[in-house]
Structure formats: C-alpha cells, structure tokens
Amino acid sequence: MRRLVLAALALALLVSGASFVWSGYAVWGNLKDNAAIRALAEGYEVALREDADPHAIHARILFLAWRDKLAETQELLPRLADGQADLRSDAHFAIANARMRSGYDHIEAGSFEDATPEIELAKSAYREALRAEPGNRDAKVNLELAMRLVRDLPRPLAEGEEDPENQPRQLWTDLPGMPRGAP
C-alpha cells in the first residue's frame, strides 16, 4: 500500500515536473517573441527564433512589407500556414498594401504598364487575405479599390463559355477497335 502511494506520488512528480518545464519554455518563448514584436513595431529589425510564434512571424511580415522587402515576406508566409486564419489574412493584406503603394508610385510616375502588374499582384494578395478570412472588411475595401484601378476581366476560354471542370470528362480514348479500353 505504502509502496503504491509512493509510486503514484513519484509519477505525479514526474508529470507535474514535465508540465512545469514545458509551460516554462512556452512562457519564456512568449516573452522573447513579445519583445521581438515590440522591437519590430518600433522599427528595429530583429531576428526571430527558430520556432517563433505566428504572432512574431506576422509582425516581421508587417515590418518587411512596410519597407517593401517583399521577397523576404514570401519566405516567411509558409511558416504562417498552420497559424490563426486572421494572422494569415493580415499578413497577406500587408503585402497587398505594399504592392498597392508601389503601384501608386508607378502611376504617379506615369508608367501605367509598370503599375498594372503590381496592382494585379496586390489583387491576388487581397484575395488570399479574403480566402484566409472571408470577413476581413479592410481587405474587401482595398480589393474593391484595386479592382477600380484594374478591373477583373473574364478569362478567355478555349471553347465555349463553360468552366473546363464542368465539361463531361473524356475518360476513354477514341482508339478504334478498343471499346472502353477493353482488350
């Protein structure tokens, strides 16, 4: 009986000790990440931990997008893939805004042919933001604004107006003498 009690207590000590270490690591990570987010918000570039929280990755994408370093944001986006939808949506929104600003710069410089691809890229990033979170109202407004600049036009389809997915599938070849692929 006493041995059982002692064994149960030892097990409880192991479990509570492990959860203490685990949650201690989580709290330490939160402190580090929140410090990084504050620094990024104040405009200091800081490196992130290897397994940084999605909030910290979101902050770094915002930091980079504001400074037009869009190539680096593309590397960070996959690390947000399994994070919260609203963080992913905001990150795409910030990238799209950066494209829009660059598009406006081209428009002010009078080079509309350079502005069009930027606005198109902004539109697809706004769409990504809305795919992540359909209720992101800011993304809706800015996407509509971008659509006013460069309208979406129907894609030319090879034959007919129907979506190719909706055409009946041709599963069997038209080889003569091979009805439905049978020998």
Residues engaged in binding other proteins (CB under 8 A): 1-6, 9-10, 12-13, 16-17, 19-20, 22-24, 26-27, 30-31, 33-34, 37-38, 40-41, 53, 55-56, 58-59, 62, 65-66, 87, 90, 93-94, 97, 100-101, 104, 127, 130-131, 134, 136, 138-145, 147-149, 151-155, 162-163, 165-166, 168
CB of 14: closest distance to other proteins in angstroms?
9
Query: Would you say 108 or 174 has its CB closer to other proteins?
Result: 108
Query: Would you say 12 or 178 has its CB closer to other proteins?
Result: 12
CB of 92: closest distance to other proteins in angstroms?
10
Contact 85, 125 (CB under 8 A): no
Query: Would you say 20 or 74 has its CB closer to other proteins?
Result: 20
Query: Would you say 20 or 178 has its CB closer to other proteins?
Result: 20
Residue 89: alpha-carbon gap to chain centroid: 6
